[in-house]
Amino acid sequence: MNIILLGYMGCGKSSIGRDLASKLEMQCLDLDDFIEDQEKKSIAQIFADKGEIYFRKKENEYLKQVLETKNNHIISLGGGTPCFAGNIEIIKENTNVKSVYLKTSLEELVDRLYQEKEKRPLIAHISSRDDLKDFVRKHLFERSFYYNQAEYIISTDDRTIGEVTNEIQNTLF
């Protein structure tokens, strides 16, 4: 069985994925890292060189490949992955997958992302906290329809990585 973690950037998919994989003695796979390894370029460079349509097509291909070839993995998706190319349907239809939406409030996301925005190409250009809040609010509005189709929804607000990981374990097993 694979466990897929999905949610908006900054919700903790990668950190929680690593912690959960360690606790469950499973392999951890970050889809964005996998794409970068396969394409031999950073996500930002793929967007710059070939555009979002190319990236989303490749993201879909690599998601299918990972789900067909990997087992006993914690798979952390990119924030947009479930929202494009029918990916949420692929996830829902796969009988070897448990999907978990790491739900994080707008305020918490803005607090987390504002401190690390230089490391995130999608938001690095945003200069004020208010502009970041508007950006994230718009994305959450567009993406929550897809995120909420996950099998399980776990809140991450005001919780440590360990607390979230424990809840996922208790919910799934």
Binding-site annotation: residue ranges? 10-15, 32, 56, 79, 120, 143, 159
| Alpha helices in the chain, H assignment, sequence order | 13-24, 31-39, 43-69, 87-93, 106-116, 129-147, 161-172
Which parts are annotated binding residues for Mg(2+)? 14
Residue 15 has which token pair? Answer: 């950190």
The C-alpha atoms of residue 85 and residue 99 are separated, in whole angstroms, by 17
Question: Pairing mode, if any, of strands 73-76 and 97-103?
Answer: unpaired
The C-alpha atoms of residue 149 and residue 147 are separated, in whole angstroms, by 5
Q: CB-hemisphere CA count at 13 Å for 114?
A: 15
Which parts are annotated binding residues for ATP? 10-15, 120, 159
Which parts are annotated binding residues for substrate? 32, 56, 79, 143
